[in-house]
Amino acid sequence: MPREQLLLIPGPTPVHPRIINSLSLPTVSHVSPVFIEEFKQALIDLKKIVNCARGQAFLISGAGTLAMEMALVNTVGPGEKILVLSQGYFGRRMREIARSFGLTCEILESPRGEAVMPFELEKKMDKGNYAAVVATHVDTATGACAPIKDYARVIKGRDTFFIVDGVCATGGIEEDMDGWGIDVIFTAAQKCFGVPPGLAVLVLSEKALDKRRRMGTVPAYYADLMRWLPIMQDPSRYFSTPCVNEIRAFAEGARLILEEGLEARYQRHKTAAKAIRAAFERLGFTYLTRDAFLAETLSVVFSPSGIGGKSLRGELLKRGIVVAGGLGDLADKVFRMGHMGNLSFSQIYYALEALEDSLKVLGYRFEAGTGIRAAKNILEAD
């Protein structure tokens, strides 16, 4: 097995050499001037990436699931009701989190491979009074991308917070907090930011912060954003020791995004997704996700007839390519390929060569090079 592997799972994603270098730097004190300045810049750049001119960004040691919990417990109080828009596994997880805090939660779920439509949300909101609507931008189990901008239009003007799970989207697909009217975005470091796992990432609008202040106490200690707010405003202060190297790596990841340019980065994700899917289609693969809902950050794929998904994943692994199986009841039915973050076009070619070689070993008959050529036509036209 090759010593180095190319991660094409839905996160963690390939880590850029500059980010690896920042991780390898000697650990400094969490109150050292060099770290404080990098922490401050990371928070500033995070707000730029989601277009939140005011409000507050938070970088907290933990995982994306912690960010989910923090987003909910700091904006919804006892007696208030939330509506979760779900197109898969992680919408249902948000419902579980709500129930664990005793919050009243309704779920509006789409058919598999699709997302809730804006008219469905509008119909639901006309009948119910919700303190918050929570939507997953891209569900990593189904590969379905939700129309977040359209949801925001429906919610705008109502006394309802809009919370977006950007875990598989932020930094790879456009999210405009100020322009669209999003109150909270939460995400994690290891997806489109291309940073190793370890950070819960949140951005709250001024409106959301005001709501948290009015709530008083919440049923949390570490997850209470009011305990973290002074640190995010002045990283030289202390509440709990931050993961110094991880935050420095995140700062470098955010710099890479802004250096590339947001529009250019979004377009690169679109091009990569289109190229990979052109190869898949030419080779006889099909998708769990309906065309109208395909995300630019990952693909959830059925193997061609006669090719077992587990066997294909095993052959890819022998060639240094790691893809993921399905989640839940999809575990043995699909595989999931991530194509987000700092993935280069050369890495895409390498992965497609490994895919064709794996199919050949498994006895699948196809014209050699046909998938690679289909992708090349798109990548070279970009």
Q: What pLDDT does 333 receive? A: 83
Euclidean distance between CA atoms 174 and 169, whole angstroms: 8
DSSP string, 314-355: HHHHHTTEE-EE--GGGTTT-EEEE--TT--HHHHHHHHHHH
What pLDDT, in 10s, does the model give residues 249-271?
999 999 999 999 999 999 999 99
**What are the tokens at 26?**
């000697």
In the chain, domain spans: 6-12+261-379, 17-260
- The mean pLDDT value of the chain amounts to 96
* 79 Ramachandran zone, left/alpha/beta (phi>0; psi -120 to 50): left
Q: How confident is the model at residue 3 (pLDDT cuts 50, 70, 90)?
A: low
What pLDDT, in 10s, does the model give residues 20-30?
999 999 999 99
Q: Among the CATH numbers 3.40.50.10740, 3.40.640.10, 1.10.760.10, 3.40.630.190, which is that of 17-260?
A: 3.40.640.10
In terms of Cβ atoms closer than 10 Å to its own Cβ (0-12, 13-18, 19+), residue 120 is middle
Predicted TM-score (pTM) above 0.85: yes
Query: Average pLDDT of 204-223?
Result: 96
What pLDDT, in 10s, does the model give residues 103-160?
999 999 999 999 999 999 999 999 989 999 999 999 999 999 999 999 999 999 999 9
Q: Is the pLDDT of residue 2 over 60?
A: no
Q: Among the CATH numbers 3.30.360.10, 2.60.40.1180, 3.40.50.10310, 3.90.1150.10, which is that of 6-12+261-379?
A: 3.90.1150.10
